[in-house]
Structure 1
Amino acid sequence: MIYLGSCHCGHTGFEVEGDIDHLVECNCSICSKRGSLLWFVPRRQLRLLTPEQELSTYTFHTHKIRHRFCAHCGIHTYGEGTVASGEAMAAINARCLEGVDLSQIPIRRFDGRSL
C-alpha cells in the first residue's frame, strides 16, 4: 500500500510504500519529547514529493540518524539512518500519514534511553 504523508503546514510531503504491521514508541531523549510513533521501512520505499532542500536536519549523540523536519512548521516527518547490515532505513513518523487509524496498529516499546 502507498501512504501519503506531510508536515503540519503541508509544505513538505512524501509517500511511502509498505504494510504497517506495528509502530515503535521509543523513549530516547528526542523521541519521548517529540511523541512520534515510528514505522521503519527501507529508505528506498520513501519518496519525497517536495525538494529535499525544503527539509531541515538535526543530529545528536552519535550523529548517525538524520532527523528530518519541515523548515517552516518544524514537524518531524521522518528520520534516516542505516542498520547494522548497511541497509539505508527510514523511520516514518506515522502521525504524519494521512488516513491511518493509529489506534488499530500494535505499538512496540523500545528502550532507546538505555543505548
Structure 2
Amino acid sequence: MTSQKTPQTMKPATAAKKLNVYLEATPAEFQEGVVSRDELNALQTDPPEWLSELRHKGPHPRQVVAARLGVSIGGLARGGITEPLTTAQIDALKAESPDWLEQERATQAEVRKENARAKQKAAEERENRS
C-alpha cells in the first residue's frame, strides 16, 4: 500500500526570502497563502509579471540592497539604512557615494581579501597533509 505524499509547503516569508523579494511588496494572495515547493520552482523558472517587476524595481529586502551596494547587512545598519530600498534609491545612493558607503565598501573588500587568504591557507595546509 502506498501512502499519498503531501506536497512540501512553506510560509510566504520563506518563499519571499528564497525569491529575493520584499514580502510586504508581494500581492496579497502570495502573502496570505502557503507556497508549495512546486509553486516556488515555477515562480523561479517562469516568474509572473509582478515578480519580474519586484526584482527589477523593488523595493528590495536588505540582503539584496547590501549586495547591490557592495556592503554587508551590518554596514547598511551602520549607515542608517533600515528600510527596503527601490532600485532608483539604490542607484541614487551609489551616485551620491556618501562617506559611510565608501567606508563600508572598503571594509567589505578587506573582509573578502582576508577570507580569500584564509581559504588559500587552508587549501595549502590540506595539500601539505596529503
TM-score w.r.t. the length of structure 1 is 0.21
Of the two structures, which has the highest relative contact order with CA contacts closer than 8 Å and spacing of 6 or more? 1
Please tell me whether Structure 1 or Structure 2 has the larger radius of gyration of its CA atoms. 2
Larger relative strand fraction: 1
TM-score w.r.t. the length of structure 2 is 0.20
